[in-house]
Structure 1
Amino acid sequence: MSFKSQMSNFLSDCEKLIVLGVGNELKSDDGVGPFIIKRLQEENIENENLLFIDAQTVPENFTGKIRKENPTHLIIVDACLMDLNPGDMQIVDKYDFANIGISTHSMSLSYFVRYLEKDTDFRIIFVGIEPETMDWGELPTSKVEKAALEFIDILKGILL
């Protein structure tokens, strides 16, 4: 099944969506999550059932806001070492985080997801984008930026 089909299936019954971008903007491709959120915010999509959160490297700081918003669906987007080609996107099983090299965060994302799922019933997926480099730099590499823009187009195509 294609990435677009997987996203479409995940969002088929979506009533309220939060997209959470995670990563360090100062480390090139590791900043792909915040890069995506900033681009989505620039789109000025007016929809009270759609929220974009730039969590940087501290997604745990947003657990209260996420729970308060009470979404039906949550998409977490981050750079993820999956042994794929740079810029490849994949939906990663939220319980497989421990087996995959996730970038530089203060709390493990698997723990973060388990905490969010406690006493809630919204659906969560994790979209990983394979980085080319996580060296110091303020912008994603061209392959990762292309993937980020593709993710945005897919999301907009499904939601709008």
Structure 2
Amino acid sequence: MGVGNELKSDDGVGPFIIRKLIDEGIENDKILLINAETVPENFTGKIRKENPSHVIIVDACLMNCEPGEIRIVDKNDFANIGISTHSMSLSYFVKYLEKDTDFKVIFVGIEPETMDWGEKLTPKVETAAYEFIKLIKGIVL
């Protein structure tokens, strides 16, 4: 699941990754790709219906790292980091997804360089996005 605002530069890294994975045709009956943009809560029903083994959420995340750095973020650390622009707190979203389910939620943060208005990722974040895409493809293909 890619989360973020594609009109705010690096904040759109999650949706960018999902679009590229869809374009490369890796979605199949075992892999569901969701471009949640700024409303991941709109997809809770779909996720619960699919009952996946894992949900990977990727989003721009202020972690005091170098731009483009990728980290798995512990859900207990959500209060200590800045997560991109969406309507529902991701900590509540993750708690809701995990309630009464057996799947594991993994949150992947990518440090943005800027989240100013703009429709393109900065070069460092775009490079990180392609690295993450390569990693995902290596796992699922």
Query: Same fold, TM exceeding 0.5?
Result: yes
SS of residue in 2 equivalent to 1:158:
helix
Is the counterpart of residue 97 in structure 1 residue 70 in structure 2?
Answer: no
Sequence identity (%): 77
- 1:9-158 → structure 2 map (5 Å cutoff): 20-45=1-26, 47-158=28-139
SS of residue in 2 equivalent to 1:95:
helix
- For residue 98 of structure 1, report the CA deviation from its aligned partner: 1.5
The gaps in structure 1 that reach 5 residues or longer are: 1-19
Letter in 1 for 2:73: V
Between Structure 1 and Structure 2, how many residues are aligned? Answer: 141
TM-score by length of 1: 0.86
Asked whether the 8 Å contact 2:72–2:107 carries over to 1, the reply is yes
Cα deviation digits, residues 11-55 of structure 1 (max 9, x gap): xxxxxxxxx000000000000000000000001125210010000
- The one of the two structures with greater contact order (alpha-carbon pairs below 8 A, sep at least 6) is 2
- For residue 95 of structure 1, report the CA deviation from its aligned partner: 2.1
Across the aligned residues of Structure 1 and Structure 2, the Cα RMSD in angstroms comes to: 0.8
Letter in 2 for 1:94: K
Letter in 1 for 2:139: I
TM-score by length of 2: 0.98
Residue number in structure 2 paired with 1:12: none
Letter in 2 for 1:146: T
SS of residue in 1 equivalent to 2:132:
helix
